[in-house]
Amino acid sequence: MCGPKAGRDSQRVAERSFPELGAVCAGTSGIGTAGDWKENLIFLGAVGTGKTCLATAIALKACQVGWRVRFFTAASLANFLLERNNKGTLNGFLDNLKRVELIVVDEIGLVSLHKDAAELLFQVISDCYERKSLIITSNLEFSQWNTVFGDNRLTAALIDRFIHHSHNVIFSSECYRLTQSMNRQRASVQCGDQNSQQLRVPGLLQQRPAGQLFQ
């Protein structure tokens, strides 16, 4: 779980201002020694608002206090479960998950799931219910999750298990990637304006010592 991506996401948390942090801190106040906290966090919001970034940072914090953590995208976990089931090795993987205290399932809603894969994912969620903690991120409201899982009754049962013992956090901030891109463009334009001003004033650079040209 802990790696370069986790470090980058933790840095982004430090760089950004998250209006949602108050609700998240309340929801994660029980993270301490392994097994103390069996709550769910559900992050809902548009793409690029920081859901995955914050989920990764929380998972990293859980690692640091000794929790066993696994991180999956919804599509990769569902496909992996389906592959293991077809190979007859699913039970071994599920046994390994039973030893995990926190599971992050990222990006529910970006990809529709195969019916059999959705049912296997439901099995994992059911096994986690009241036994371990979950962090779920999604760009869809609950009412739209049936478009992902393809079965209304399965979706209703899945949501029922998600929201019990859960803290729902709505992310409404601006898209981080779009904001960063616009800031870079503005910086580039300002840099271009400064260069133009220097070109319009002959001899300006020559009036400064060589060591200060790039200061």
Are 138 and 92 found together in one domain?
Answer: yes
For 69-102, what is each residue's pLDDT tens digit?
Answer: 999 999 999 999 999 999 999 999 999 999 999 9
Same domain, 77 and 159: yes
Contact 57, 13 (CB under 8 A): yes
Confidence band for 65, pLDDT divided at 50, 70 and 90: confident
User: H or E segment at 190?
Assistant: helix 176-200
Average pLDDT, rounded, for the chain: 78
Residue 178's pLDDT band, with cuts at 50, 70 and 90, is low
Residues 165 and 184 occupy one common structural domain: no
**184 plus 199 within the same structural domain:** yes
Number of domains in the chain: 2
Q: Packing angle between helix 74-87 and helix 90-97, nearest 10 degrees?
A: 130
Higher pLDDT, 169 or 185: 169
Contact 150, 26 (CB under 8 A): no
Domain that holds residue 198: 177-212
For residues 160 and 74, state if they share a domain: yes
Same domain as 107, residue 207: no
Same domain, yes or no, for 183 and 89?
Answer: no
CATH of residue 84: 3.40.50.300
pLDDT, greater one: 98 or 198: 98
Using an 8 Å Cβ cutoff, are 150 and 118 in contact? yes
